Amino acid sequence: MNDECYVLGNGPSLAKIDNLILDSLPTFGSNRIYLKYVPTYYCCINPTEARKYPKEIEVMESTKFVTNKVPIKGCTPLKSTNSVQFSTNPYWAVQEGYSVTYVLLQLAFFFGFRTVYLLGVDHHYEDYKGKPNQLIKWRGKDPNHFTEDYLNDNDEWNCPDLKKSEFYYRIAKQVFEGSGRKIINLTENSELDVFEKGRL
């Protein structure tokens, strides 16, 4: 088994990455990542997201994990919990950590990957109106993801909470490093400074 993998965010920088590069390692992706690339492992933990496109998720040929609040054929249901800060057994439950990327890190840890490379984790959002975690309806083109069609008009979307997600990313860093593993952020111009930075 390859000890390295990519954990993919859905930020604008991902659009610049050739899919042939992503083919070089196992990949973890989430939500509408399939608009660009079908990952080895897929997760959708947010019920709002899972309810939007169940058919698209169902047909993906990935190892798939989806919130237990929205059953989708061919997907392993995931339960969310606040009783642990970083789950080493996602089949029991996962901590959402204010970002599906955090769930992907728990999955990558569980599947035994020792070096995780982050791509598309820009950790920066613009052109939206709402408070952290607020559920809003999107209007117009989407500048916050790898395609401007990622969110459609009137799509429901939870506003990001970058500060709280950073809290959990620090926990992921501690867990990985405590096990002799590491997370390296290869995202170009990423504003996430929790992890070691690198270049693709």
Q: What CA dihedral angle connects 120, 108, 185 and 15, to 10 degrees?
A: -20
Q: Which residues contact 174 (CB under 8 A, 6 or more apart)?
A: none
Report how far residue 154's alpha carbon sits from residue 184's, in angstroms, rounded to the nearest whole number.
Answer: 35
Q: Which pTM was predicted?
A: 0.95
pLDDT digits (tens, 9 = 90+) for 37-60: 999 999 999 999 999 999 999 999
CB 161 within 8 A of CB 46: no
Mean pLDDT, residues 5-25 taken together: 97
Look up the CATH architecture of domain 4-197. Alpha-Beta Complex (3.90)
Element (H, E) at 169: helix 162-178
Q: How far apart are CA 140 and CA 151, in angstroms?
A: 8
Task: Please write the tens of the pLDDT for every residue from 112-126.
Answer: 999 999 999 999 888
Indicate the pLDDT class of residue 151, thresholds 50, 70 and 90: confident
Mean pLDDT of 151-179: 91
